[in-house]
Amino acid sequence: MDKDLARLKEILAEVDDLSRASALLEWDQQAYAPRGSAEARGQQMGSLNKIGHERFTSPETGKLLETLKKIAKDWDPDSDDARLIQVTAKRHERAVKVPSAMVVEKAEITSLAAQAWQEARAKSNFPHFQPHLEKVLEWTQRYAELFAPQDHPYDALLDEYEPGMKTAEVQAIFDNVRPKQVELIKAIAAKPAIEESMLHQHFPEKAQWDFGVEVVTAFGFDWERGRQDKVTHPFMTNLGYGDQRITTRVYEDFYNAHIFGTMHEAGHALYEQGIPKKLARMPLYNGASLSVHESQSRLWENLVGRSKPFWSYFYPKLQKVFPEQLGKVKEEAFYKAINRVAPSFIRVEADEATYNLHILLRLGLEIDLLEGKVAVKELPSVWNERFNAYLGTTPPDDAKGVLQDVHWSYALMGYFPTYALGNLVSAQLWEVIRRELPDLEQQIAKGEFGALLAWLREKLHRHGAKFEPQEIVQKITGSKIDGAAYIRYLQKKFGEIYAL
Amino acid sequence: MDKDLARLKEILAEVDDLSRASALLEWDQQAYAPRGSAEARGQQMGSLNKIGHERFTSPETGKLLETLKKIAKDWDPDSDDARLIQVTAKRHERAVKVPSAMVVEKAEITSLAAQAWQEARAKSNFPHFQPHLEKVLEWTQRYAELFAPQDHPYDALLDEYEPGMKTAEVQAIFDNVRPKQVELIKAIAAKPAIEESMLHQHFPEKAQWDFGVEVVTAFGFDWERGRQDKVTHPFMTNLGYGDQRITTRVYEDFYNAHIFGTMHEAGHALYEQGIPKKLARMPLYNGASLSVHESQSRLWENLVGRSKPFWSYFYPKLQKVFPEQLGKVKEEAFYKAINRVAPSFIRVEADEATYNLHILLRLGLEIDLLEGKVAVKELPSVWNERFNAYLGTTPPDDAKGVLQDVHWSYALMGYFPTYALGNLVSAQLWEVIRRELPDLEQQIAKGEFGALLAWLREKLHRHGAKFEPQEIVQKITGSKIDGAAYIRYLQKKFGEIYAL
């Protein structure tokens, strides 16, 4: 048995090494690779992923897991090894269900779809994308069926990002949240708009960059085990133990993009920097799920980074960095500006109060598409109709509407809800943190984040992917994921800002 | 047969993808990776190399090669496919001869030896390194025996870097070169030393960098298919078709290091940027050998970059970049300074005229060690004795003597001669180029390198690794590698500079 476990870990380590190497290929492509490398780079990532998949789904891995699953029944169910077997066996079951022909087919369909999407968005021409999306949807429907029987075909998609979560659970959570959030936004819309022109001045890149570095260093980002680089679309990547990298962008004519993006990616990185070395090179060397991951990025970006105590410490420093731009802008005005609520057509530009509604729109559409209740060709009109119902306005064209996100062209259905769930979890965690660290606001107002990070490490980060999202949230907060804390948070914060 | 060839190419493409990904891991580690990543990075490279080796030496690959070798007898022997089978079969034969236990053993021995070497060099303490080098040597002797029968055990080592070349050939080449080179250096030593203090001023990094970029851009380095980054020990790496990267360093207090290092690595990159796409993802997507590769780096660094016509075009530009440092320094004085001959203890700091002697010293010692004629413990004294005989001076300590190079600690024996062979080949090629491009000097004096690069592409680069080094040199120059052209080149150039 010890030998079987050791052999399994050896295989998993190689699979992990391949996937981290592939992550470096991707990081490099986003950050540094010359244009001419695109084709070869795609082939290289394809080979690494294929070989990793082959090793992971090999008969040997399957046999080892069968044997170890039986033995693991006698182990402490919360031990690293028992959880490793459980998590790995589940992934393995999913992986072997997918015929390699379907993997190849997906690569072909999505590679064409991604290109068509880019062209379609540029010209706001949905019909150009439509036949590709139809193929993606048809593939996704077949894919979901591979995991039957299940309560809902969408369960199969969701489970990939949120292990153990069911469509019905997610729907119930959001059914509670939506009316309250819509109501809040209506109340805000009735109030005078907040002035935010001071954010749209010229902020030189290097000064922005240095200030961002100062902030995430204060958060606790470990530069001995990470770095930051510039890209077009920011992301965080984990390249193996001791190497968690953040990427960011800088707009010289709009301050928010850089600073909040940087805090967001640093939040992801702090999570992975907190996973202990003993879990490295295994499927447990990961966040619990995408939503739990997003809870960390949102916590540092919003709960910390858009809070009053945070800026009471950092705003005077920022004024020193940008005396011409912000010297005469009061802290209160700046705080309100970075928290301004205004429905935008584009999800990635949305504020804290409206963001979830963008997601709920997409979640509903994905489920309806999968069930066949909405046809692909109807998407633009259904999008606009529902958008108006949620956010009180209608996109001027499809580029700013149904065509804005890349996800569907890559067959990433089931992914969007993780963003909104992350927001909910961040607020749930925050309520517990505030109880357990009563002077947290005072600490943040002194630029001290050590106790906060230590708490997150102890309660969440150190477990890596040992627990499913609902399990770990329950463990930490005493209840499963729900939206009540997030609604309380929004109502209190924006109630104050907008004097509701 | 078409199917077998296609399948072989599929396997080779995956093996190549793995090795390019590993090269990116290495590049990143040298250029950007945070310190904390070292252990995980080592494991990742280990896994990729192991998997690549397994695929390449698998029974399937062996069987395909057996079948194809028979069929390929009927093909045009110079066709890409025939050469592919030939080159691959040879590599495969070598690879399967090495038991994986010996590969693991080497990794263990050299990892300890490399660490001990670093400590030993820092303290100039050879006895600290001695037991490790003894183990490396013992391993190397066993390794060489795997390839018996052969004319000389050193053949096995040499063949890895210079396919097809024999120890006796290399010895004969250098036996001709050595006395003439020693004689030349003695003649130079009798002349007054050249003034070079103008090279040891403060040259700000960015200005050096930009000027280097201007030079290699003029050479024809394609930035759409490559980039340049800063590292401690410069190298060139090929990350797959369309991505050949150079790395460089900058010393602000000594001008030579940056500019000639940059031209050197650009020379390597120009070679690989000239290999056609049809050879990509195969063993043919490579230089012919290390010496042929070095002939390209040396050609651009020395034959072009240390020449009079080159600086007649670029020196006025350089003076504009560094008016305070060089404004009053005449071109002739600068030209002589960058070509100053002065025996140095350290190989990597050696000038064109003395460089080869550093190599000949090492080549002789490697052969004597392998044959058991010199024992490891005798190395320091034998080193100093021979160094004095070749270069007329004795290192003050072992750190500046036998301990200076990292190669032996990594079991890289057989590697050194490729550097000196590269010098010889560069001069052999240059004589042909000068005949076939009669106005080359005038072109260089106008900053034009297009005809030179086109010639190199047509004669050498486009063949990739299709031909063995002696074959391709014979094909281009009409004779095999020999030192006559290099000696003529040195005598003429330094005869003029030193008025011999």
- Residue contacts between A and B (CB atoms, under 8 Å): 132
Lowest mean pLDDT among A74-88, B93-107, B150-164: B93-107
- Cβ B277 vs Cβ B243: under 8 Å: no
Residues A309-327 have pLDDT tens digits of 999 999 999 999 999 999 9
Share of chain B above pLDDT 90, in %: 96
- Cβ A489 vs Cβ A106: under 8 Å: no
Residues of A in contact with B24 (CB under 8 A): 21, 24-25, 28
Q: Which residue of A has its CA nearest to B10?
A: A47
Residues of A in contact with B224 (CB under 8 A): 34-36
Beta carbons of B44 and A17 less than 8 Å apart: yes
A349 noted as active-site residue: no
Beta carbons of A20 and B28 less than 8 Å apart: no
Q: Which residue of A has its CA nearest to B47?
A: A14
- Cβ B336 vs Cβ B489: under 8 Å: no
Catalytic residue among A162, A265, A366, A468: A265
Domain extents in chain A: 2-97, 123-500
Predicted confidence at residue B100, as pLDDT, reads 85
Beta carbons of B242 and A51 less than 8 Å apart: no
B80's enclosing H/E stretch is helix B80-97
Query: Which token pair is B252?
Result: 């602000």
Q: Which residues of B160-189 are buried (b: 16+ CB within 10 A; e: fewer)?
A: bbbbebbbebbbebbeebbebbbebbeebe
Distance (Å) from the alpha carbon of A110 to chain B's nearest alpha carbon: 22
- State the pLDDT confidence band at A417, using cuts at 50, 70 and 90: very high
Lowest mean pLDDT among A364-373, A452-461, B99-108, B423-432: B99-108
pTM of this prediction? 0.95
Q: Which residues of B385-398 are buried (b: 16+ CB within 10 A; e: fewer)?
A: ebbeebbeeebeeb
- Chosen for mutation from B27, B243, B275, B281 (greatest number of chain A CBs closer than 10 Å) is B243
Crossing angle of helices B59-72/B80-97, nearest 10°? 140
- Cβ A331 vs Cβ A290: under 8 Å: no
The two beta strands, A236-238 and A244-248, are antiparallel
Predicted confidence at residue B406, as pLDDT, reads 92
What is the mean predicted confidence (pLDDT) over B454-477? 98
Predicted confidence at residue A111, as pLDDT, reads 86
Between B18, B37, B225, which is nearest A34 by CB?
B225
Residues of A in contact with B241 (CB under 8 A): 36-37, 39-40
Sign for the pseudo-dihedral over CA of B335, B339, B342, B346:
positive
Beta carbons of B14 and A243 less than 8 Å apart: no
Beta carbons of A51 and B14 less than 8 Å apart: yes
Please tell me what DSSP assigns to residue A245.
E
- State the pLDDT confidence band at A1, using cuts at 50, 70 and 90: low
- Chosen for mutation from A12, A15, A43 (greatest number of chain B CBs closer than 10 Å) is A43
C-alpha separations of A66 from A58, A61, A71, B9 in Å:
13, 9, 9, 36
Between A13, A24, A40, which is nearest B241 by CB?
A40
Q: Which residue of A has its CA nearest to B273?
A: A36
- Chosen for mutation from A11, A39, A41 (greatest number of chain B CBs closer than 10 Å) is A41
Distance (Å) from the alpha carbon of A315 to chain B's nearest alpha carbon: 30
- Phi/psi region, residue B124 (left: phi>0; alpha: psi -120 to 50; beta: rest), is left
Residues A129-171 have pLDDT tens digits of 999 999 999 999 999 999 999 999 999 999 999 999 999 999 9
Residues of A in contact with B240 (CB under 8 A): 37, 40-41, 43-44
Crossing angle of helices B416-436/B290-298, nearest 10°? 60
Bigger pLDDT: B103 vs B312: B312
Query: Which token pair is A194?
Result: 């907040």
What is the mean predicted confidence (pLDDT) over B243-256? 97
String of DSSP letters for A16-84: HHHHHHHHHHHHHHHHT--GGGHHHHHHHHHHHHHHHHHHHTSHHHHHHHHHHHHHHTTS-TTSHHHHH
Nearest CA among A213, A353, A310 for reference residue A269:
A213
- Cβ B271 vs Cβ B461: under 8 Å: yes
> Which chain A residues touch B if contact means CB-CB below 8 Å?
13-14, 17-18, 20-22, 24-25, 28, 32-41, 43-44, 46-48, 50-51, 222-227, 229, 239-243, 280-281
Q: Which residues of B334-360 are buried (b: 16+ CB within 10 A; e: fewer)?
A: bbbbbbbbbbebebeebbbbbbbbbbb
* Gyration radius (Cα) of chain B, Å: 23
- Cβ A387 vs Cβ A361: under 8 Å: yes
The CB-side HSE value for A132 (13 A sphere, CA atoms) comes to 27
User: Is pLDDT above 90 for A100?
Assistant: no
Distance (Å) from the alpha carbon of A30 to chain B's nearest alpha carbon: 14
Q: Which residue of A has its CA nearest to B277?
A: A40
User: Is pLDDT above 90 for B441?
Assistant: yes
User: Is pLDDT above 80 for B409?
Assistant: yes
| 3-state SS assignment for residue A228 | strand
B470's enclosing H/E stretch is helix B469-477
Please tell me what DSSP assigns to residue B246.
E
**Yes or no: is domain B124-500 CATH 3.40.50.150?**
no
Predicted confidence at residue B470, as pLDDT, reads 98
User: Is pLDDT above 80 for B235?
Assistant: yes
Task: Give me the phi and psi of A58, to 5 degrees please.
Answer: -65, 155
Residues of B in contact with A40 (CB under 8 A): 20, 239-243, 280-281
Beta carbons of A37 and B223 less than 8 Å apart: no
Beta carbons of A22 and B20 less than 8 Å apart: no
Q: Which residues of A214-245 are buried (b: 16+ CB within 10 A; e: fewer)?
A: ebbebbbbeeebbbbeeeeebbbbbbbbbbbb
Residues of B in contact with A32 (CB under 8 A): 227, 229
Catalytic residue among B162, B169, B265, B468: B265
Predicted confidence at residue A464, as pLDDT, reads 98
Q: Which residue of B has its CA nearest to A55?
A: B51
> Which chain B residues touch A if contact means CB-CB below 8 Å?
13-14, 17-18, 20-22, 24-25, 28, 32-41, 43-44, 46-48, 50-51, 222-227, 229, 239-243, 280-281
Query: Which token pair is A158?
Result: 């969701």
Q: Which residue of A has its CA nearest to B240?
A: A40
The complex's ipTM? 0.94
Distance (Å) from the alpha carbon of A95 to chain B's nearest alpha carbon: 21
Share of chain A above pLDDT 70, in %: 100
Between B35, B41, B227, which is nearest A240 by CB?
B41
Integer distance in angstroms from the first to the last C-alpha of chain B? 63
Beta carbons of B32 and A280 less than 8 Å apart: no
Distance (Å) from the alpha carbon of B285 to chain A's nearest alpha carbon: 13
Beta carbons of B41 and A223 less than 8 Å apart: no
C-alpha separations of B365 from A103, A349, B443 in Å:
55, 67, 43
Residues B360-385 have pLDDT tens digits of 999 999 999 999 999 999 999 999 99
Residues of A in contact with B53 (CB under 8 A): none
Residues of A in contact with B225 (CB under 8 A): 34, 36-37
According to CATH, the topology of domain A123-500 is Neurolysin; domain 3 (1.10.1370)
User: Is pLDDT above 80 for B217?
Assistant: yes
Q: Which residue of B has its CA nearest to A243?
A: B37
Residues of B in contact with A14 (CB under 8 A): 47, 50-51
Residues A326-373 have pLDDT tens digits of 999 999 999 999 999 999 999 998 999 999 999 999 999 999 999 999
Beta carbons of B225 and A36 less than 8 Å apart: yes
Distance CA A406, CA B147 (A): 55
What is the mean predicted confidence (pLDDT) over A406-425? 96
Predicted confidence at residue A228, as pLDDT, reads 98
User: Is pLDDT above 70 for B1?
Assistant: no
Between B40, B243, B281, which is nearest A37 by CB?
B243
Beta carbons of A225 and B281 less than 8 Å apart: no
Residues B268-317 have pLDDT tens digits of 999 999 999 999 999 999 999 999 999 999 999 999 999 999 999 999 99
